[in-house]
Structures are given as C-alpha cells and as structure tokens.
Amino acid sequence: MKQSALPPNDQEMTLVQHLLELRNSVTKSVIAIAVMFLILFPFANDIYTFIAEPLTRYLPDNTSMIAVGVASPFLTPFKLSLVLAIYLAMPFLLYQLWSFIAPALYSHEKQLVGPVLFFSSFLFYAGGAFSYFVVFPLVFGFLSQTAPEGVTIATDIALYLDFVIKMFFAFGLAFEVPVITVLLILTGMVKPKTMSHARPYVIVAAFVLGMLLTPPDIISQTLLAVPVWLLYELGIIIGTIILKRKGLDKSEAEAEETAYEHEPSSKSYQGSAQKFDRGFAEQNSKSSDDDFDFDSEFDKIEREMAALRNQSTSTKSNDTEGKSSDDQQEPKGPNK
C-alpha cells in the first residue's frame, strides 16, 4: 500500500495493530451490553408486562398469557433483558464501529460520521416506538377480533417475545431508509433524478418487505410499506437540499451543458438526414428517367472480350512458330 493512498497525516497500520483495535472495540461493546443487562435484569418482569400491554388489553376477560415451556417464566424475561440491552446500547456499538474504521477515512468523510450516527440512532428508535404505539394496537386488535367463536386466545410468552423482537428490529431498520438515501446522493453514486424515477420499484419493494417481515395481514404490511416509501421521498428531498447548499448540483448542471454544447445538435442531424434523402431521391429519379439498354452493353462487352482472346491466341501461335524455326537452324561446325 502506497503512502499516497492513505489519508493525510495517517500512517499504515500493521495487522497486529488492526487486531488490537478490533479487540478493544469488541471488548468495550461487550462491557456496555453487560452493564445495560445488569441494570435491566432486576426489572425484567416489569419490562415484559409493559411490552405485552398492547396484546393484553385485547385479551378476553379472565384470560392471560401462558408459558408453555418449563423454563419459559425465567428464560423469556432473561432474553428480553439481553435483547433490550443490545437495543439500548446500539448508539455506543455504532460509535465503536466508527472508531475502528475512522483511521481509514478522509477528513471530509469523517465529517459525515457524526450526523449519520445521530440520525441513524434516532430513526432506529423511532421505528421501534412506531411499531409499539401504532402497529401493535392495530394488529393485535384486528387479530383478536378474527378468532372463531369458542376459541380462547392464550398466547405463549416466548412466542410473543420473538414476534415483538422481530417487529422492533424490522421497523428500526426500515426507518434507516432516509440515511441510506442521503448517503447515496452525497457520495455521488446515485442522482436525485434517478432515485425519483425509481419510485415505482421502491414502492413495490417496500410492500414485498412488509409482506416478508410482518404477520400475514394487510394492516401491518401497509403500516411498514407506507412509512418506508415516505421516508424514501424524505431522503430524496433532504439530499437535494444539501446538494443545492453545497453547490454540487450547479457544477453537475454546468458539466452537462458543456457536454451538450460539444455534441452536434438534433437540428444538424435532421438537416443532414434530409439532404441525404434528397440526394438519394434525385439519383433514383435520374436512374429511372434514363433509358439504359443493358442488352446492348453486355453484347459490347462480350465482343471486346472475344477480340482480346483472339489477339492473345495469335500472339501465342507466332511465338511457337518462331521457336520452332530457330531450333531447325543448327550452327555449322569448322572444316577439318
């Protein structure tokens, strides 16, 4: 790796130094998760009651959730505390990831890290809050009303926790769409016009994602697809505004105008095409007007070829006669 390929005022790190930095980042992340887990585990049952409230409000009277497994009353709150510790420590985990890759970034790239970390963490938690306060009441209210008569709704606590965790992370990651969109625009990988033209494909992909990540009902699928589409549009708007403030869109427009000026205009192409069509039509008209006799022309060519053949045969016969006469005349030897 050449020194010129490195960021300014940075030096190449050895493999051992990279491994040491990775070990430090992983160790700090594990310690942060462990600390959050120790804080949350004593309140695990209360936290589970709070998480289960969107479902328990729609359960029939004199019914409650059940624990099918033998160790479920202990393992389910334990799992909830561990997952929630990772969920709450996500900003610190992202910061450790950034600190590991920061030596390989340039100064203008490091300036984007702070806003990206802040907005990605905020949108991640916003997705979880949206799923808890908006999606869960609608989904559980709809599913509880569709149960047949005579069927008692008694959801297992472990299955419910798995469902909640999947929904939290699904909506949290889906709400990261504006950050990804803005990064694609600022890095120049995709232009805002191109992303606007790809809107129909994004809408279809959002509904497919909602179908795969949410329960098989139209409510949760729509509640995931519509915010993803709206956040995609928000990312395009924010990226366009940032480009205008930095003046990058003006430079791109000027480059396109200069490239357009160097290219021949469409009018010149049309004029040359029209001239060619007129010339070709005139030649066709002339050739059609002239009464050209092809038979007489072919006869003339055949007569000329026959005369050339006769001339060549006559010259060959003269040459052979001259050689034979020379062979018959032998030189006379001296008299003895």
Q: What are the pLDDT digits (tens) for 36-46? A: 999 999 999 99
**CB of 103 within 8 A of CB of 10?**
yes
Q: Distances in Å between the alpha carbon of 193 and those of 7, 32, 258?
A: 32, 42, 19
Identify residue 127 by its one-letter amino acid code. G
Please compute, for residue 232, the number of CA atoms within 13 A of its CA located in the half-sphere on the CB side: 20
Q: Residue 336 — pLDDT band, cuts 50, 70, 90?
A: very low
Is 108 exposed, middle or buried (CB count within 10 Å of its CB: 0-12, 13-18, 19+)?
exposed
Distance, in Å, from the CA atom of 79 to the CA atom of 73, rounded to the nearest integer, reads: 11
Is 99 exposed, middle or buried (CB count within 10 Å of its CB: 0-12, 13-18, 19+)?
middle
Give the pLDDT confidence of 238-295 residue by residue, as tens digits: 888 888 887 655 545 444 444 444 444 444 445 555 555 565 555 555 444 445 566 6
Q: What is the dihedral of CA 165, 167, 173, 175, to 10 degrees?
A: -140
